[in-house]
């Protein structure tokens, strides 16, 4: 070990914990939960806190046209920035760690790089791009220029204001959304809680993501004939519930037989007229199917689509299928993955290679620059819930790897 390496101050777990707890006050929900939706007063307060921390750390603070916070540590050489960060908005309610840990970790890592190495050669940046808006990834899609000009006017909660109105309420101008698009991003590395059980099962604090899963989300509607549940013989029915039951069990079974990491979920269903003694007229439901391998994803989707076409035809049911979102798998940049692996080895922290079954901001940034992700163990694999928990020691292990990786890239 060189003298410089021997002098490295380890990342302090209690400092990470204090920042997580400080953010958890904004939108606190019960004992351990947080409910902090984008553009609410609690979100603004949390943004202000992050901006203040960045300023205290000597970073140059920028807030862009959609409210993303960027904290810049200018390098001694020109060129695109190495960026780290995540989101501070939450599910309703969510926990303290989803997103927030990546923001806190990014700040701690950038600070550590400067303490250990002084001014970096390349510019480093810590960013916050809130994502759980009415459509996903609002902040990172704005930063990568992927929000359509009319989107803020079209997006609306069922009976609420439009995104444009919500933005105006917090002093942002929706006309300026295109100004948030950047061309100065050279790489994006996101630290995030795993939100799954694999690290815990492996007894490891940290994982390195090789691929972020691809997925397609459908809304299916089956139409038959509503009729009396007592007087209509089984052989004379066109029952969309019978078709839905076959399709639902079929797609779930298909993913199960394909094996890990294939996953298919039916999470929402509506029935009309929704009566106890009525054969339904319509049954609608979601299908969410994911796989990180492009060929396997295509196979999974083809089997699902074949299944519902066959069932609807055989049962004489009307079928309509809408694709609500469709994203191919995004491999992380191989060089960045190796940088993270080398940093973990250097820090003496074992880290497993894994795929991400959840989608993340990094997936959006992958359209404009190389990306990579670090996962930190989630207790019980729980996330998007007040129960989510990551220990300060595990978080500090992730920050240590992130700081070393940023140093390798920027100094
Ligand atoms: Zn998240």
The pLDDT tens digits of the residues spanning 88-101 come to 999 889 999 999 99
pLDDT digits (tens, 9 = 90+) for 21-44: 999 999 999 999 999 999 999 999
CA 216 to chain centre: 15
Q: What is the pLDDT of residue 134?
A: 58
Q: What is the pLDDT of residue 168?
A: 93
Alpha carbon of 99 to ligand 1 centroid (Å): 4
Q: What is the pLDDT of residue 384?
A: 86
Per the CB < 8 A criterion, the answer to whether 285 and 319 are in contact is: no
Structure tokens at 386: 């007040």
Phi, psi for 203 (deg, rounded to 5): 70, 30
What is each CA distance from 215 to 28, 256, 269, 296, in whole angstroms? 32, 16, 19, 11
Region 271-293: mean pLDDT is: 97
* DSSP label at residue 373: E
Reduced to 3 states (helix: H, G, I; strand: E, B; else coil), residue 359 is: coil
61: CB partners within 8 A, 6+ apart: 51, 54, 55, 69, 70, 71, 72
Length of the chain: 411
pTM, 2 dp = 0.90
**Average pLDDT in the chain:** 94
What would you measure as the largest C-alpha separation in the chain, in angstroms? 87
Alpha carbon of 364 to ligand 1 centroid (Å): 13
Among 208, 279, 286, CA closest to 252: 286
60: CB partners within 8 A, 6+ apart: 71, 72, 73, 74
Structure tokens at 172: 């942002």
Alpha carbon of 92 to ligand 1 centroid (Å): 13
Per the CB < 8 A criterion, the answer to whether 82 and 91 are in contact is: no
Residues with CB in 5 Å of ion ligand 1: 98-99
Region 305-330: mean pLDDT is: 96
pLDDT top residue among 135 and 117: 117
Is the pLDDT at 6 greater than 60? The verdict is: no
Alpha carbon of 241 to ligand 1 centroid (Å): 35
What is each CA distance from 217 to 180, 182, 267, 370, in whole angstroms? 28, 29, 11, 26
Q: Angle CA(289)–CA(384)–CA(196) in degrees, nearest 5?
A: 60
Beta bridge partners of 217: 288, 325
Element at 365 (helix H, strand E): helix 361-365
Alpha carbon of 310 to ligand 1 centroid (Å): 37
Alpha carbon of 148 to ligand 1 centroid (Å): 23
Q: Where are the beta strands (DSSP E) in 103-181?
A: 124-128
Alpha carbon of 312 to ligand 1 centroid (Å): 37
Is the pLDDT at 3 greater than 50? The verdict is: no
Alpha carbon of 56 to ligand 1 centroid (Å): 25
């Amino acid at each position: 070990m060189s003298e410089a390496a021997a002098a490295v101050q380890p990342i302090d777990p209690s400092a990470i914990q204090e920042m997580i707890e400080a953010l958890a006050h904004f939108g606190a929900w019960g004992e351990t939960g947080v409910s902090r939706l984008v553009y609410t007063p609690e979100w603004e307060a949390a943004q202000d806190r992050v901006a203040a921390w960045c300023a205290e750390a000597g970073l140059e603070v920028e807030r862009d046209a959609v409210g993303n916070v960027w904290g810049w540590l200018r390098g001694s050489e020109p060129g695109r920035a190495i960026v780290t960060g995540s989101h501070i908005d939450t599910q309703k309610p969510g926990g303290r760690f989803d997103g927030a840990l990546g923001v806190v970790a990014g700040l701690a890592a950038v600070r550590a790089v400067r303490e250990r190495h002084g001014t970096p050669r390349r510019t480093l940046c810590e960013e916050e791009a809130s994502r759980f808006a009415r459509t996903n990834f609002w902040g990172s899609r704005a930063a990568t220029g992927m929000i359509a000009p009319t989107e803020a006017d079209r997006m609306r909660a069922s009976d609420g204001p439009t995104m444009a109105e919500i933005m105006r309420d917090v002093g942002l101008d929706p006309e300026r959304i295109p100004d948030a698009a950047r061309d100065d991003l050279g790489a994006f590395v996101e630290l995030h809680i795993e939100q799954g059980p694999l690290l815990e099962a492996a007894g490891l604090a940290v994982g390195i993501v090789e691929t972020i899963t691809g997925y397609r989300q459908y809304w299916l509607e089956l139409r038959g004939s509503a009729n009396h549940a007592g007087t209509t013989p089984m052989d004379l029915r066109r029952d969309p519930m019978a078709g839905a039951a076959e399709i639902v069990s079929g797609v779930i079974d298909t993913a199960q037989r394909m094996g890990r990491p294939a996953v298919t979920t039916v999470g929402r269903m509506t029935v009309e007229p929704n009566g106890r003694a009525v054969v339904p007229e319509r049954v609608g439901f979601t299908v969410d199917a994911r796989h990180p391998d492009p060929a396997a994803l295509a196979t999974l989707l083809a089997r699902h689509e074949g299944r519902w076409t066959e069932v609807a035809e055989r049962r004489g049911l009307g079928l309509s299928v809408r694709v609500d979102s469709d994203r191919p798998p995004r491999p992380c940049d191989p060089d960045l993955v190796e940088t993270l692996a080398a940093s973990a080895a250097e820090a003496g922290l074992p880290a497993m290679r894994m795929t991400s079954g959840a989608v993340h901001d990094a997936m959006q940034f992958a359209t404009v620059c190389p990306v990579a992700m670090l996962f930190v163990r989630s207790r019980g694999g729980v996330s998007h819930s007040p129960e989510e928990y990551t220990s300060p020691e595990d978080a500090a292990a992730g920050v240590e790897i992130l700081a070393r990786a940023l140093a390798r890239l920027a100094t």
